[in-house]
Amino acid sequence: MNQSAYARAGVDIHAGDAAVELMRAHVARTRRPEVLGGIGGFAGLFDASALAGYRHPLLATSTDGVGTKVALARALDIHDTIGWDLVGMLVDDLVVCGAEPLFLTDYIACGHVVPERIAAIIRGIADACVAAGCALVGGETAEHPGLMGLDEYDMAGATTGVVEADELLGPELVRDGDVALAMASSGLHSNGYSLVRRVLLEEAGLALDKEIPEFGRSLGLELLEPTHVYAGEIMNLLRAVTVHSMSHITGGGLANNLVRVVPDGMRVIIDRASWRPGPVFELVQSVGGLGRADIEETLNMGVGMVALLPADQVDEAQRVLGGLGLGNWVCGRVEAHDGAAGAELVGEHPGT
């Protein structure tokens, strides 16, 4: 099939080429010394000899997408922030085991390639990769006419990192008396949007351009607030203090994610009185008439990351994170108990 026939079938190769040219400068900003070549090849290349300086390197990998938050980016026609959500979901799953993110690849599927829109998405991905210290080494933009609407797109990615074997974080390091240190989320991040969209947009009928006084901006802009990328701050933290285990608070909420990073015979007790979730969480709960269990097992409730660390490391950890501008607070503790690994939220949030 020649190119013109392919174009008649709905695939515009020239638009794809234009998108690559527009994204080239964004990708270049993420370059690390280990990256070989540039975009446009069949594979991204990363010089693995850089690992020779490790005593016992372990490679870590993660793959994820953004989910239904993409629908809001499309509805608002704002595409340069959704890349932060993708990168955050990827690299912050690596850093919880102590791994430094090295490189990332993305995949964007769309009904029709609009070069400027694809470039805006890549700009957001590149910005987030720069913040994480991670190279964007390649990707794929696929046009799927007939399978997706002309303005529809979805995105996913994969990332690889490295950690020394004897510096690997995990449940087996957690001890009775460890402190739970919370790090603030920037909002909803990238989880729970199927519930949020149903409650606020479909059932309550709120418009995305509705100004919400508690937000100081429109509902749409609040919901589109990008995921905070913690990787750079966490790597600084790990160089400064001892951390035993760490949890990225994504789908499933605090308890369901914390239980994954403590061993049997231990449980994390999280005190709700130590923070107040932001107004977006209160709006979703009140408008949707949701019970505590429903919202806490779906949304992050204002906590994007939790580190479990020895009590004598907490002051320095807070100094490091505070110096980097990342809000943090002691939110709970680890205690021994009989039975399987556990996590429990107790008390009441201030103002509730």
Distance of CA 235 to the CA centre of its chain: 15
Distance of CA 13 to the CA centre of its chain: 31
SS3 53: helix
pLDDT for residue 139: 86
302: left (phi over 0), alpha (psi -120 to 50) or beta: left
Residues 316, 51: Cα–Cα separation, whole Å: 29
Contact indicator for 346, 198 with CB cutoff of 8 Å? no
Of the candidates 229, 223, 232, 234, the one whose C-alpha atom is nearest the C-alpha of residue 280 is: 223
CA angle 61, 155, 1 (to 5 degrees): 110
Would you state the structure tokens that stand for residue 327, as one six-digit string?
Answer: 């809000």
pLDDT for residue 16: 54
Contact indicator for 195, 343 with CB cutoff of 8 Å? no
Q: What does the pLDDT profile of the chain (352 residues) look like in tens digits?
A: 455 545 544 545 555 555 566 555 666 666 676 777 666 667 778 888 989 999 999 999 999 999 999 999 999 999 999 999 999 999 999 999 999 999 999 999 999 988 899 999 999 999 999 999 999 998 889 999 989 998 999 999 999 999 999 999 999 999 999 999 999 999 999 999 999 999 999 999 999 999 999 999 999 999 999 999 999 999 999 999 999 999 999 989 999 999 999 999 999 999 999 999 999 999 999 999 999 999 999 999 999 999 999 999 999 999 999 999 999 999 999 999 999 999 999 999 998 6
Farthest-apart Cα atoms in the chain, separation: 69
Q: What is the distance in angstroms between the CA of the first residue and the CA of the last residue of the chain?
A: 64
Identity at 332, one-letter amino acid code = G
Would you state the structure tokens that stand for residue 176, as one six-digit string?
Answer: 């009775």
Give one DSSP letter per residue of 136-161, joined into a string: EEEEEEEE-BTTB-TT-EEEEEEEEE
